[in-house]
Structure 1
């Protein structure tokens, strides 16, 4: 105890926090409950029971590390009761060469959500060539519960080997919904959706929308860094365009409250979610059932070792338990 008290004195001055750093999003209520004793309460999302409101947002799809990363992430989902979106499965449309890197259903188990992932350009190409069966077969091979379509016009425009989107993505999504019988999630890739895009998406019978808002991994910025061509660098202002997760959530809530024609069931709030405190704040504010997604934070630990990923997620779960007990969103 003496050592502890001495530490408190030595560290007291170093621990002073400027008032400008105060997180003013919550009421802190220390009088109303004891320290949490139980685990997080299970809940239904994407049609399955989850135990942790964290979604593994789609990330790596074709690197040499993809197999290790996906397996570590799937193992974590099984342990903590989370859902997972795979990285781009484009390579599986015509070949099973990389299937082993994505084949994680046996790891995550049958009772948790696992979604395949494909870009809007590939969807457009499959529709044009009347080859949607390739997409259906891919989802089947992976034993996935459904498919994520990522919409990435800025990334494709800035990518040296990028494809061109030839029709409105909303039309391609509508045709996909008419053609398949499994759930569809639509996401952006790091810049988010404006209010008109959200309004149109919320009217579709999607399983969920994933924000992938500005503030997290920005694939437009990644393409700028990949391509040193001077002419391409002139497009750099486009990489700074986007919307934060909180902006998008506020628009979504307004649309849901004012519109009786909402068909989308759920949302995954991702993009700039740095920790459990951001995830808790945003999911508590949502008018639709919501969980929060992380990509780069999970990738950082998953590429090292499972033990590192496990420790990180344990901390996040404990933080959520404390937040739910003592913090009330303003």
Structure 2
């Protein structure tokens, strides 16, 4: 027999029965997993050494008008007053309560004078008392209410649904392009100011509806005592474009260019930052909701970290896709997004 030393492999590690299959997967998938340099996300520095894997639920809570968000995520206003609204809103409310995120209802206009669709919006029992949920009315409806001295209908609506405040959506282009649209006879800014005077204790959020707004409008809103300004930027669902699809061929041809104007979410965040830096003493708006083209947690993380105002991010169409199905689909989507956000905060550093 040879006197040369013998060698034997160590026994397989107990508790890892999937190792052979996993390694086979790695071999088969290696060629499909080649990264292209041109596809690198240039918004972040990846820092893999500086944190352990985050524990579920490790995001820092955020104060939101006296309530607390467990994650910086907002369900942007979507639908109301239709047959499909009930299941969508109820699924979204369940998710808001389970994950501690905020929610804006779709337009509550149909409830101002009748309660046929009350259950579509009656989501507080599903969400629970802890999370912020806001009603939603258009500037045109508020103008009419204020002119008739009926501001109390807003508080009655909010009290009936046990909500926390009001979102005002400002949508002059949508109203113009909507076949049944209203017409503004005063500037929306004046309507918002009058609302704040009439209901000074009402938490108010102001948003556009998918095209964003420019620096003069942003500055005017930042100087008002709002709970939040919602960017509702160009890049997500554009309600002006949506209304054109409902119009005739002549209107689509004549007004199509209007759907291409607007501002991106990143542009608006940077504009808000400049205004905050230039005139910090004039800023009375408390928070920013970054929405419009926010596709996932990476977009949300980057844009909220970029903001000089305390910021959360909102999504609409992504929630809507899952909320139309069974609740488990929506539940899994939200859980995945929040775990992704926790990973991003642990290992990614946004570049300026």
Same fold, TM exceeding 0.5? yes
- Corresponding residue to 1:134 among 153, 156, 173: 153
- Corresponding residue to 2:203 among 167, 177, 183: 183
- Corresponding residue to 2:162 among 143, 150, 154: 143
Unaligned runs of 5+ in 2: 1-18
Q: Residues of 1 paired with 2:208 and 2:131: CA distance?
A: 23
Report the CA distance between 1:17 and its aligned residue. Answer: 2.6
Q: How many residues align?
A: 330
Q: Residues of 1 paired with 2:303 and 2:256: CA distance?
A: 30
Counterpart in the other structure of 1:265: 286
Indicate whether 1:53 and 2:87 are aligned. Answer: no
Q: CA RMSD in A?
A: 1.1
Greater Rg by CA = 2
Report the CA distance between 1:38 and its aligned residue. Answer: 4.6
SS in 2 for 1:235: helix
Q: Residues of 2 paired with 1:89 and 1:150: CA distance?
A: 11
Unaligned runs of 5+ in 1: none
Q: Residues of 2 paired with 1:231 and 1:308: CA distance?
A: 38
Length-normalised TM-score, structure 1: 0.98
Indicate whether 1:226 and 2:243 are aligned. Answer: no
SS in 1 for 2:192: helix
Within 5 Å, which residues of 2 pair with 1:67-78? 67-78=86-97
Please identify runs of 4+ aligned residues in structure 1 that moved more than 6 A.
none
Q: Residues of 1 paired with 2:251 and 2:234: CA distance?
A: 24
Indicate whether 1:212 and 2:267 are aligned. Answer: no
Indicate whether 1:157 and 2:176 are aligned. Answer: yes
Report the CA distance between 1:52 and its aligned residue. Answer: 1.4
Counterpart in the other structure of 2:115: 96
Moved more, 225-234 or 155-164: 225-234
Report the CA distance between 1:185 and its aligned residue. Answer: 0.5
Report the CA distance between 1:143 and its aligned residue. Answer: 1.2
Q: Residues of 1 paired with 2:42 and 2:244: CA distance?
A: 35
SS in 2 for 1:234: helix
Q: Residues of 1 paired with 2:102 and 2:212: CA distance?
A: 21
SS in 1 for 2:349: strand
Q: Residues of 1 paired with 2:56 and 2:249: CA distance?
A: 55
Within 5 Å, which residues of 2 pair with 1:1-330? 1-39=19-57, 40-180=59-199, 181-259=201-279, 260-330=281-351
Q: Residues of 2 paired with 1:70 and 1:38: CA distance?
A: 26
- Contact 1:186/1:208 (8 A) holds in 2: yes
Q: Residues of 1 paired with 2:278 and 2:333: CA distance?
A: 39
